[in-house]
Structure 1
Amino acid sequence: MRKKICSVVVSTAFLVAAAGAQAEPVLQGKDAYGDWRTDKPGTVRLIRPQDLVKPGATPSAALSAPVVPRPAEAALQVPAGFKVELFADGLRGPRIVRVAPNGDVFVAETRTGDIRVLRAGEGGKAATNEVFAAGLKRPFGIAFFPSGDNPQWVYVANTDSVVRFPYQAGDLKARGKPETIVASLPADGGHSTRDIVFTPDDKRMLISVGSVSNVAEGMGNPPGGLDAWSRTQPLGAAWASETERAAVLAFTPDGKERKIYATGIRNCVGLAIQPQTGLPWCSTNERDGLGDDLVPDYVTSVKEGAFYGWPWFYIGGHEDPRHAGARPDLKDKVTIPDVLVQPHSASLGMTFYQGTQFPAAYHGDAFAAEHGSWNRSKRTGYKVIRIRMKDGKPTGEYEDFVTGFVVSDAEVWGRPVGVAVAKDGSLLVSEDANGTIWRVTHP
């Protein structure tokens, strides 16, 4: 294990190592890249499009992440002044976490097909643990509708559909069988997660759908030819098995008026609405196979009608060599993401901080969970990062916030997936390797 850093804060669960209080310099260019051994809370990174290496600068590596039971001496690290303690354990692969207006914590156990409800008791740890709904098909996204303190429905995004349950504040069990709102989402293999958010005016429902493939291998030509296709489809839309994939879809809350909202986003795993602007944001897994330091994952605002490059380009006009010359018409139409994250980090769930418990500097910032790499020779990710904002706009910088899930070069005990702000302003972090949720507080 890594040595603990700086002072130790006593927790009822694990002892927590806190990062140093002094501001760290911003690591840029090649210095912004690292691996789990150099991660520590407070480390700030800035990766820019001009910093990218050429494809194939290093071989494409395969380094799996064997999961071991959580070691007794395991300690999560957080910035100075924060502490982290166990909120819940014994869960079955908890993934996305969403907090109901009354404070109940809804958790998607994707592999088992369950939505679970946790309720905090004395000391902040989960004291109530109930299965809200079972028998779903790889559920992931959860949303409450309409907005406000008294939602009437809980929406769940399955891998192939969207369903909803009638809801009243405090329900621990679903009131009857689910009502199907969207009967068919693309679901034939590939990325299975579907997140869901509603726009602030409650008029639109957005659903993220990842690609089938890494980089649309063998997609071929669209029906009727590229020119005809491009005239009738959204900018950068894919076809064949990738139809309506690598995209964010839009519907009315009743599942009608189906449209493609944005394209070229390989795997938008986590969706969130930025409170200051009302814009949807997306935490994205980019493509593999181009070496250790390509292609950056990213966290970005998602503009309606925008094209983010996949599969032909990445991070602006950088052409993927596996599609060289295929779509020159799109090169100057690629929207560059707001915040680039170290390649292969596997950025998953995200949220914006609107609580009052953390220092004022955190208000309006975003957090994202990095599930961890497999396509990199030196392990990276396996942490929670803070996305820095200034006056509601991203600076491009991100900061290590929770680290310590890796045991060694060969083993990990935790893989972060979901992040959510609890009613009391603490930050909840799920990891699906050992089935735990952690609570970060600022006493």
Structure 2
Amino acid sequence: MEDKMIRSAGLVLPALFLATAAFAQQADQPVLKGAAAFGDWRADKPGIRRLIKPEDLPKPYLTKSASNSAGLADMPAGAKPRLPAGFSAELIASGIDNPRAVRIAPNGDLFVADSEANQIRVYRLSKDSAKPAEDAIFARNLNQPYGIAFYPPGNDPQWVYVANSDRIVRFAYRNGELKAAGEPQTIVDKIPSNHHWTRDIVFSPDGKTLYLSVGSGSNIAEDMGKAPDGGLEAWIKSKPLGATWGSEDGRADVLAFDPDGKNGRIVATGLRNCSGMTVQPATGALWCVVNERDALGDNVPFEYATSVKDGAFYGWPWYYIGDNEDPRHKGARPDLAGKATIPDVLMQAHSAPLNIAFYDRQDFPAGTGFPQDYRGDAFVALHGSWNRGNRTGYKVVRLLFKGGKPTGEYEDFMTGFVVSNGEVWGRPVGVAVASDGALIVTEDGNGTIWRVTYGGARS
């Protein structure tokens, strides 16, 4: 579960954050597995790989539940994140109030949700640098906007959809417009908006389905009640597998609608807080990254990225990572035992994954983009821990795929945001692949946007 932090000024040596080849993974470096993968920020560096499996899950309460929010330091002058050898990061913009999800328009413009400012920003980069040639406010007076999607999918969208905390709206749009020409049209309303408010949206490849993620209203459904109105047995017979009720009705779900907002349905349940969604180009599968529950210990349960299967139940609030029953709901839902789908890629507990983007475009200009072995992999932004004694997260990681399927391994890609065990200067949130192959990263610690490119010898 992500948290907010208090800013504290601090002096940091800029040299700590300069990208350098010294951080590249050595060919003979082993993959960290099991408990060895449960380290903290001090061991993070580009190239470090982890493989966490369901059987590695510790028992709950082996450590006390920590409240360990990071102080926020000012970004030092000249600071840059650490990257693998051959990669470099350029600062696009800074001083933004709360840059969150970032999406790429068909013409290459960057659309950024400035969530706490209640607006959508647009950046048009110059041809030969990361500095914006133009920037503008596309839309104002929103309500904690987060997810952004262009419709219909393809090169000639007619609408920009925006997911507010309480509703989905859309604006009429033509390629290259920097400001919405008209008022927003409400597509889906009455979305519960308290507690987890980050609503992401994405369209299916054929444009017929609009997916919406709605996070839980609590940590473990404390106020949901032991049974729904009409009794649990009747609820089980009439609702999707693992559906919640009361204060959690319609939450911890991925939902689906027609593009006009009609014919809403539940796609999958038990996803405590799916803060980022995308479609895998190679397969057309819907993917999301999930913030799991808190207060079971430093390494319980794992966060995850997963393909979202229609009709699947992912455990929350009764189970986690398969058939592990939450002790705070012991014996409450024996009917769900053995029915929770195990996620595809497990990550360190409390890392707070917020966005995911696949690196799988085939239309990059010649000589641009990342090396070939990155194609088909995915990048995930980890916002960083608060419910953990030793800090983890605060980085961008690469999920490894082979033949379109995840290997389960993930690798540190963009690190260096942590100053000390008490302070950080950056908290990654949004990731997107630009039309020229660059990786765009937002972070809301110091309100910056970065452009990551590759300039080394290609593999």
TM-score range, shorter chain: over 0.9
In the alignment, is the contact (CA less than 8 A) between 2:278 and 2:356 conserved in 1? yes
Residues 262-271 or 349-358, more deviating: 349-358
In the alignment, is the contact (CA less than 8 A) between 1:4 and 1:17 conserved in 2? no
Q: Does 1:249 align with 2:261?
A: no
Residues 119-128 or 295-304, more deviating: 119-128
Of the three residues 407, 413, 419, the one matched with 2:431 is 419
Per the alignment, residue 287 of structure 2 pairs with 281
Q: Which amino acid aligns with 2:239?
A: Q
Q: Does 1:44 align with 2:49?
A: yes
Name the CA distance, whole Å, in 2 between partners of 1:20 and 1:159.
39
Per the alignment, residue 20 of structure 1 pairs with 24
Q: Does 1:146 align with 2:161?
A: no
Q: Secondary structure at the match of 1:77?
A: coil
Per the alignment, residue 91 of structure 1 pairs with 96
Residues 245-254 or 117-126, more deviating: 117-126
Q: Which amino acid aligns with 1:16?
A: A
Q: Which amino acid aligns with 2:375?
A: H
In the alignment, is the contact (CA less than 8 A) between 1:17 and 1:78 conserved in 2? yes
Name the CA distance, whole Å, in 1 between partners of 2:434 and 2:180.
21
Report the number of matched residues. Answer: 434
Q: Does 1:236 align with 2:248?
A: no
Alignment of 1:301-340 (within 5 A): 301-340=307-346
Q: Secondary structure at the match of 1:30?
A: helix
TM-superposed CA distance for 1:126, in Å, is 2.0
Where does the alignment leave 5 or more consecutive residues of structure 2 unmatched?
1-11
In the alignment, is the contact (CA less than 8 A) between 1:17 and 1:76 conserved in 2? no
TM-superposed CA distance for 1:175, in Å, is 1.2
In the alignment, is the contact (CA less than 8 A) between 2:90 and 2:130 conserved in 1? no
Of the three residues 217, 232, 255, the one matched with 1:212 is 217
Q: Secondary structure at the match of 1:111?
A: helix
Alignment of 1:197-208 (within 5 A): 197-208=202-213
Q: Which amino acid aligns with 1:255?
A: G
Per the alignment, residue 390 of structure 1 pairs with 402
Q: Secondary structure at the match of 2:117?
A: coil
Q: Does 1:363 align with 2:375?
A: yes
Per the alignment, residue 173 of structure 2 pairs with 167
Name the CA distance, whole Å, in 2 between partners of 1:390 and 1:126.
36
Q: Which amino acid aligns with 1:380?
A: T
Name the CA distance, whole Å, in 1 between partners of 2:378 and 2:70.
27
Per the alignment, residue 262 of structure 1 pairs with 268
**Cα gap change, 1:415 to 1:316, in 2 (>3 Å):** same
Per the alignment, residue 376 of structure 1 pairs with 388
Per the alignment, residue 119 of structure 1 pairs with 124
Q: Secondary structure at the match of 1:78?
A: coil
Q: Does 1:103 align with 2:108?
A: yes
TM-score (norm: length of structure 2): 0.93
Q: Secondary structure at the match of 2:142?
A: coil
Q: Which amino acid aligns with 1:422?
A: A
TM-superposed CA distance for 1:73, in Å, is 5.5
Per the alignment, residue 445 of structure 2 pairs with 433
TM-superposed CA distance for 1:207, in Å, is 0.2
Q: Which amino acid aligns with 2:19?
A: V
Q: Does 1:403 align with 2:403?
A: no
Of the three residues 271, 296, 303, the one matched with 2:302 is 296
Q: Which amino acid aligns with 1:365?
A: D
Per the alignment, residue 7 of structure 2 pairs with none
In the alignment, is the contact (CA less than 8 A) between 1:45 and 1:399 conserved in 2? yes
TM-superposed CA distance for 1:25, in Å, is 1.6
TM-superposed CA distance for 1:143, in Å, is 0.2
Name the CA distance, whole Å, in 2 between partners of 1:398 and 1:4.
26
Measured against aligned partners, the alpha-carbon deviations of 1:58-104 in whole angstroms (never above 9, x if no partner) come to 00000011112102253311111111121221212100000001000
Q: Secondary structure at the match of 1:231?
A: helix
Per the alignment, residue 78 of structure 1 pairs with 83
Q: Secondary structure at the match of 2:336?
A: helix
Name the CA distance, whole Å, in 1 between partners of 2:389 and 2:113.
31
Name the CA distance, whole Å, in 2 between partners of 1:306 and 1:275.
21
Q: Which amino acid aligns with 2:79?
A: A
Name the CA distance, whole Å, in 1 between partners of 2:85 and 2:236.
52
Per the alignment, residue 65 of structure 2 pairs with 60
In the alignment, is the contact (CA less than 8 A) between 1:2 and 1:37 conserved in 2? no
Name the CA distance, whole Å, in 1 between partners of 2:387 and 2:278.
27
**Cα gap change, 1:36 to 1:202, in 2 (>3 Å):** same
In the alignment, is the contact (CA less than 8 A) between 1:308 and 1:337 conserved in 2? yes
TM-superposed CA distance for 1:4, in Å, is 6.4
Q: Secondary structure at the match of 1:398?
A: strand
Q: Does 1:341 align with 2:347?
A: yes
Of the three residues 137, 140, 151, the one matched with 1:134 is 140
Q: Secondary structure at the match of 1:143?
A: strand
Q: Which amino acid aligns with 2:409?
A: E
TM-superposed CA distance for 1:437, in Å, is 0.6
TM-superposed CA distance for 1:2, in Å, is 8.7
TM-superposed CA distance for 1:129, in Å, is 1.4
Where does the alignment leave 5 or more consecutive residues of structure 1 unmatched?
6-13
